[in-house]
Amino acid sequence: MQLTNFDIPKGFSSFVTNLGIKDNTDDFVLVKSEVPCVADGVFTQSLFAGPSVTISRRNLQDAQAQGIIVISKNANVANGAIGVADAEEIIQLVATETGIAAQDIVIASTGVIGRRYPIEKIRGNLSGIGTKLTTVDFEKAAVGIMTTDTVPKLATRQIGNVKLIGIAKGVGMIEPNMATLLAFFFTDAAIPKDVLPAIFRPIIDKTFNCLSVDTDTSTSDSAVILANGLAGEVSQQEFTQALQEIAHELVLKIAQDAEGATKVIEITVDSAIDYAQAKRVAKAIVNSLLVKTAIYGADPNWGRVAMAIGKCEHDKEINQEKVQIRFDDIQVYPYASSDEKLEQLQKIMSKEKVNIHVSLNIGEAAATVWGCDLSEGYIDINGKYST
């Protein structure tokens, strides 16, 4: 992805380097705003959330932040008190070196769980970083936060003078729940403190929280937005629209790059009783291993979609006699057993993006979720990730 200066919000600088966490690739990203930003963040609901999450949640309580640290290749999770102390020490080091107040620093960490940071290496390599900050390089930052990602994930929008950029990482352990993997948004728009969460959180809920690669929720999920106000005010409607578009774009990039994935799956469930029900049914389909493997093999076994809907056993209003299932515009239920329909279906299932549309016909709510197929590649990557 080519970024021009045009796309870069004002007032941000960055430093990306290798601290030697795991290998020689970049594993440390610092993005600093020249002034404190209005900020908001949403985080994993995991009971095993690590110190990066608990500290960042605390530091964002006042809706202000000035810097974001991301450490990749080690999640710093399930390390007890020593893990907390390590995270606090890193924040303090960065604060001292850069002049940002410690409580205005957000930290995120992603990688293997249950291993301590190589803290002595980190201490040595962070020394003097305050002088190394340069004009922000979001492409390098997007690479620096990657773990098993194969491509960096960025998206940008411009609204008048205001620029907005998002970067994200994540390809596995992805079923964000009221939170997300790692995603960071930077803008020079001026957005009031009490407005930003009202814009940001519903967007995350309808984009990142509608994504599932493998039903496993990370202990480190974090999505944070920093708005430094240097470009002045912006139409909140246009800003919301742009943020929504960026978030959606990043979600599709994650689904495309998901571990072992060969196809993106988009499921829309409509005419449900309420949004929660529509999303529950859509998630049941997108998370079904049998649906995922059928799509991988372009096997026109549409009955597995019916099976997956059937798993929502608490949604007693759902009646199999009212349900309709379509792939693109081909209706398969009720009753597409003809060889001709199955051939059409096989063609649809061979596309790079497979759209499944379910109408429950019991209400007026709809939801769309995204996921990917399941291939041998996922097994290969995850049978030997930590070692």
Q: Is 134 a catalytic residue?
A: no
Size of the site for a second copy (CB under 8 A): 71
Closest contact distance (angstroms) between CB of 202 and a second copy is 20
Assess 189 for contact with a second copy (CB under 8 A). Answer: no
Which token pair is 45?
Answer: 């609901």
Q: What is the CA radius of gyration of the chain?
A: 22
Residue 188 near a second copy by CB under 8 A = no
Least separation in angstroms between CB 281 and a second copy: 10
Angle at alpha carbon of residue 222, lines to 16 and 82, rounded to 5°:
75
Residues 105-124 that bind a second copy (CB under 8 A): 112-116
Among 181, 204, 309, 366, binds a second copy (CB under 8 A): 309
Rounded to 5, what percent of the chain is helix, strand, coil? 35, 25, 40
Taking CB under 8 A as the criterion, which residues in 221-280 touch a second copy?
none
Stretch that binds a second copy, among 2-10, 26-34, 248-256, 304-312 (CB under 8 A): 304-312
CA distances from 194 to 36, 64, 160, 198 (A): 16, 11, 23, 7
Q: Does 374 bind a second copy (CB under 8 A)?
A: yes
Q: Is 354 in the site for a second copy (CB under 8 A)?
A: no
* 299 touches a second copy (CB under 8 A): yes
Closest CA to 273 of 364, 358, 368: 364
**245 appears as a binding residue in the annotation:** no
Which of the residues 98, 110, 180, 187 is marked catalytic?
A: 180
Residues 317-336 within binding reach of a second copy (CB under 8 A):
318-321, 332-336
Closest separation between CB of residue 387 and a second copy, Å? 6
Q: Please state the closest distance from residue 280 (CB atom) to a second copy, in A.
A: 12
Burial string for 288-312 (b: 16+ CB within 10 Å, else e) reads beebbebbbebebbbebbeebbeeb
Q: Exactly one of 152, 170, 172, 197 binds a second copy (CB under 8 A); which one? A: 172
Of 253, 67, 70, nearest to 156 by C-alpha is: 253
Query: Is 216 among the residues that bind a second copy (CB under 8 A)?
Result: yes
Q: What x/- string results for residues 45 through 64 when contact with a second copy is judged by CB under 8 A? A: xxxxx---------------
Span from 128-136, 200-208, 210-218, 268-276 in contact with a second copy (CB under 8 A): 210-218
Burial pattern 165-178, b for ≥16 Cβ within 10 A else e, equals bbbbbbbbbbbbee
What is the C-alpha separation between 368 and 220, in angstroms, rounded? 24
* Angle, in degrees to the nearest 10, between helices 289-296 and 275-286: 60
Which range of residues in 150-158, 185-193, 270-278, 313-321 is near a second copy by CB under 8 A? 313-321
* Smallest distance, a second copy to C-beta of residue 300, A: 7
Strand 222-227 versus strand 182-187 pairing type: parallel
Residues from 67 through 106 that contact a second copy (CB under 8 A): 75, 77-80
Least separation, in Å, of the C-beta of 48 and a second copy? 3
Tell me whether residue 268 is annotated as binding: no
* Residue 293 contacts a second copy per CB under 8 A: yes
E strand or H helix that includes residue 211: strand 211-212
Give the integer Cα–Cα distance in Å for 158 and 315: 42
For residue 288, the minimal CB distance to a second copy (Å) is 5
The one segment of 3-11, 149-157, 217-225, 249-257 that binds a second copy by CB under 8 A: 217-225
Q: Give the tokens for residue 131.
A: 């002088």
Q: Does the annotation place 215 within a ligand binding site?
A: no
CA 327 to chain centre: 26
Q: Is 262 annotated as a binding residue?
A: no
Q: Is 180 in the site for a second copy (CB under 8 A)?
A: no
Residue 338 sits in the site that holds a second copy (CB under 8 A) = no
**How crowded is residue 210: how many other Cβ atoms within 10 Å of its Cβ?**
22
Pairwise CA distance, residues 365 & 277, whole Å: 8
In whole angstroms, give the CA distance from residue 154 to residue 345: 33
Q: How far are the Cα atoms of 35, 274, 287 from residue 56, in angstroms, in the given order?
A: 18, 33, 30
As annotated, the active-site residues are 180
Binding residues: 147, 169, 180, 259, 382, 387
Binding residues for substrate: 147, 169, 180, 259, 382, 387
